[in-house]
Amino acid sequence: MKESATLEIKGDTGIDDLKVATEAAGSNINTSSGTTIKEVTFDGPAIVKGSVLISKVILNTDGVLVEPVVGEIEKNEATTNSEGVKIKQPSRGGGGTSTTTDTTPPTGYSASFDQSAANSSNQSSMSFTFSSAEVGTSYTYSIDDTNGLTLAVIGNGTIATATDQVTGIDVSTLDDDTLTLTVTLVDAANNQGNSVSDTVIKETVAPTGYSVSIDQAAITASNENTMSFSFASAEVGSNYRYTIADTDNGTSDVTGSGSIVTATDQVIGINVSTLTNGTLTLHVQLTDAAGNEGNVAVDTIIKESTPPSGFSASFDQDPVNLTNKTNISFTFALAEVGTTYTYSIDDTNAGTSAVTGSGTIATATDQISGLDVSGLDDDTLTLTVY
């Protein structure tokens, strides 16, 4: 038989060799009394009914049902057990028949998702893996959310190994929710095992709307070991990763990571002393518990950790007298443009208040004028600039 069909064998018919091909799987062979068949070979599962006398059956597959009495049964490597096979043979006592029937369902197996979560990156390529599955059984699975209006994702197949992996499952049509995998095995004799299950969280929406800002106005020698930055509108429970880089390709970025506790978390104690002076760029990215990555938030800051040096400042008047005491001045030499200065002018009397001021250097030889020192004693006046 080369294709699935129903074969009727009637009367005193004798057949030497009957073969059921793989393509004839599911065939039915009906016989009547007086029919004899010397040998039947099953490459595909089939059912033989009636009162035919069969001398020998050769089994190359499972799923065979033979109701008449069979003299001899031969199994090859494809039929390592009797699952799905029911054949009558003469009993050892010479009378009656004995029956081999598989009534034991598959047991002891499990199935679990391979991904810790379903997210925007993997939702179209989910997978699960069996453990201790019965080889040769058929499986059916469904993956569903808790929304009764969405259709479960379903599939089926045949177990080839005890640890088969089922891949390429698209759950994008299911809600962001708890997804439940339910799997059942059925053997060749139609014995159905218990359903096993596993769950996974699906979350496909990445963190959005957050920003970061460096807390310092500039990075200097005094704070380069304790830089910090703060979040705004961060997603609580997500994880963050940050890098801080200079413009020098020869230095290594400063990196770090952690978890968001509040929407305005502050990350402190960052040491950027190994980075070169100039513009430092902070990049921060949030990733939620399902692995969805948000956009990169950015902020920049200037680092200048080398203090100004080589400059000087000197009074323009000597001496200070009655004529100029309300309008004296001093002048810088080699001052660093863009730096800030603070000065004080004081006498030796602790009871008088020093004259003080501050500003920003515009040129290397800035002059600071219009200083009134009339409140100081006639004494040696000392100018201090830093």
The tens digit of pLDDT for each residue in 275-299 reads: 999 999 999 999 999 999 999 999 9
Burial 315-334 (b: 16+ CB within 10 A, else e): bebeebeeeebeebebebee
For residue 284, count other CB atoms closer than 10 A to its CB.
24
Q: Quickly tell me which residue has 């100039």 as its tokens.
A: 278
Q: Cα 376 from chain centroid? A: 72
Task: State the greatest distance between any 2 C-alpha atoms of the chain, in Å, as a whole number.
Answer: 149
Q: Are 351 and 309 contacting, i.e. CB atoms less than 8 angstroms apart?
A: no
Residue 151 pLDDT: 97
* Mean pLDDT of all residues in 172-189: 97
Determine which of 25-29, 304-308, 332-336, 360-364 has the lowest per-residue pLDDT on average: 25-29
For residue 85, count other CB atoms closer than 10 A to its CB.
24
* Mean pLDDT of all residues in 185-202: 97
Residue 86 pLDDT: 61
Residue 227 pLDDT: 98
- Which is more confident, 126 or 47? 126
pLDDT at residue 82 greater than cutoff 50 = no
**Strand pairing of 46-49 and 27-31?**
parallel
Residue 26 pLDDT: 79
Question: Distance between CA atoms of 16 and 11, rounded to whole angstroms?
Answer: 15
Residue 87 pLDDT: 62
Q: What is the mean pLDDT of the chain?
A: 90
CA angle 379, 383, 385 (to 5 degrees): 165
Three-state SS letters, 53-68: EEEEEEECCCCCEEEE
pLDDT at residue 93 greater than cutoff 60 = no
Residue 95 pLDDT: 45
Q: What are phi and psi of 370, to 5 degrees?
A: 70, 35
* Mean pLDDT of all residues in 34-61: 83
Strand partners, 47: 28, 65
* Mean pLDDT of all residues in 218-245: 97
pLDDT at residue 53 greater than cutoff 60 = yes
- Tokens of residue 132, six digits: 């201790």
Question: Distance between CA atoms of 141 and 166, rounded to whole angstroms?
Answer: 10
Residue 101 pLDDT: 65
Residue 91 pLDDT: 45
Q: What are phi and psi of 24, to 5 degrees?
A: -95, 15
pLDDT tens, residue by residue, 326-371: 999 999 999 999 999 999 999 999 999 999 999 999 999 999 999 9
- Tokens of residue 21, six digits: 């091909």
Sheet-wide strand order for 266-270: 211-214, 227-232, 266-270
Determine which of 18-27, 98-107, 187-196 has the lowest per-residue pLDDT on average: 98-107
Q: What percent of the chain has pLDDT over 70?
A: 91
Residue 89 pLDDT: 54
Residue 71 pLDDT: 60
* Mean pLDDT of all residues in 235-257: 97
Residue 78 pLDDT: 47
Residue 97 pLDDT: 44
Residue 88 pLDDT: 53
Question: Distance between CA atoms of 343 and 368, rounded to whole angstroms?
Answer: 10
pLDDT bin (cut points 50, 70, 90) of residue 56 is confident
